Amino acid sequence: MSKVTPSLKAAQFTESVIREMTRLARKHQAVNLSQGFPDFPAPAEIKAAANQAIEHDINQYAITWGSPRLREAIAVDFTRRYGVPVDPETQVTVCCGSTEAMISTMLGVVDPGDEVIVFEPFYENYGPDAILSGATPRFVPLREPSWSFDPDELAAAFSDRTRAIIINTPNNPTGKVFTRDELQQIAKLCQQWDVIAITDEIYEHILYDGTSHIPLATLDGMAERTVTINSVSKTFSVTGWRVGWTISPASLAAGIRKVHDFLTVGAPAPLQEAAAFALKQSGSDGDDYYRNLAAHYAARRDRLLAVLERTGFRCYRPSGAYYIMTDISAFGFDNDVEFTRYMVQEIGVAGVPGSSFYREPSGGRTKLRFCFCKRDETLAEAERRLAKLQVRA
């Protein structure tokens, strides 16, 4: 048999369905409500800061674990908002987006054969991340409509084999924001079983209806065992910049930094400077930027919710992030993939089939996720096209 083939590792997972949907949307000129990236401009001042950094010749490799100015800004920002001390010298690692932060963390702190607990439905990258790091994922269901977990089911997933648990709050795709009570249950189990918590908090500022974001690292005894992952992608509407980071105990950063170094050397140097500017600037305006961001998305959420419900989708109202998970049973299709293709090709609106967030496709067979990080005109066009969709059941 030929050895000129992809590796066994790569053969174990498929291409990203989310990114594939974006390509399909382009091909069919569909309104793209699939992949979560804004179609409006990034804030002018931070674009100016990026231009300035390039002009000032910050164009060579930054220190591999992040420019000192950005690490300092990340540490100051986290401490200011959550009261947890962070040493930028030893605890912050700047990566190419939270995507790289997650895989560098998995490769840097998890060994082949370890189990990693993942809540399901999950952001699709976590599956391949587990495979690439040789870990065995143990899935714990988040049950609709509230997307809460059963405490006994969670407790049963922990064992001596568990090395880590991944938590994403505010959550993609469900819009769930984990409560203090839920986080306390997770923290207790992590401490009982000596497990590392890896939290993806990339939507921390995108919250609705007075909901608060609670970083797991703020809970008693958790900063010592938590890797907090974040990035500028969603907060500053710059998903293409590829600047993210981890905040972790120094002992774990040592592993993460080594992997990060050999994977990418570093994130784009001038954009790290602009990210530092963005964090500092948003801190100095009394958090107005963050409040406005949440308000801007709240209006879009309400608008898309109304359109989808009118069209016949059953919607799970998100408390955070910028997605709406829907139930598509009313449209009479056999499965989510078939329905999504029909939507792109015949209706001209792209979403993401629910099955891409579940280990077994059957888990998401009746679901479709839409994003609403889009201009008013884009949402208006989606509304116009969705009017053609007929309820069949």
Ligand X SMILES: Cc1ncc(COP(=O)(O)O)c(C=O)c1O
Instruction: Give the binding site for ligand X (CB under 6 A).
Output: 36, 97-99, 123, 168, 172, 200, 202, 231, 233, 239, 244
Q: Compare residues 219 and 275 and give the one whose CB is closer to ligand X.
A: 275
Q: Compare residues 91 and 125 and give the one whose CB is closer to ligand X.
A: 125
Nearest to 98 by CA among 224, 213, 208, 204: 204
| Nearest distance in Å: CB 80, ligand X | 21
| Nearest distance in Å: CB 187, ligand X | 20
Q: Compare residues 328 and 371 and give the one whose CB is closer to ligand X.
A: 371
Name all contacts of 46-49 with Cβ < 8 Å and 24+ positions apart.
46/236, 46/238, 46/274, 46/275, 46/277, 46/278, 46/281, 47/274, 49/273, 49/274, 49/277, 49/278
Residues 6+ apart with CB under 8 A from 8: none
| Nearest distance in Å: CB 140, ligand X | 17
Q: Compare residues 123 and 208 and give the one whose CB is closer to ligand X.
A: 123
| Nearest distance in Å: CB 343, ligand X | 20
Q: Compare residues 321 and 347 and give the one whose CB is closer to ligand X.
A: 321
Q: Compare residues 98 and 248 and give the one whose CB is closer to ligand X.
A: 98
Q: Compare residues 200 and 273 and give the one whose CB is closer to ligand X.
A: 200
| Nearest distance in Å: CB 99, ligand X | 3
Q: Compare residues 259 and 389 and give the one whose CB is closer to ligand X.
A: 259
Strand partners, 231: 244
245 touches 94 (CB < 8 A): yes
Please tell me the distance from the alpha carbon of residue 308 to that of residue 301, in angstroms, as a whole number.
10
| Nearest distance in Å: CB 98, ligand X | 4
Nearest to 366 by CA among 312, 304, 323: 312
| Nearest distance in Å: CB 95, ligand X | 8
| Nearest distance in Å: CB 108, ligand X | 17
Q: Compare residues 88 and 175 and give the one whose CB is closer to ligand X.
A: 175
| Nearest distance in Å: CB 97, ligand X | 3
Residue closest to ligand X, measured at CB: 97
| Nearest distance in Å: CB 123, ligand X | 4
Q: Compare residues 37 and 82 and give the one whose CB is closer to ligand X.
A: 37
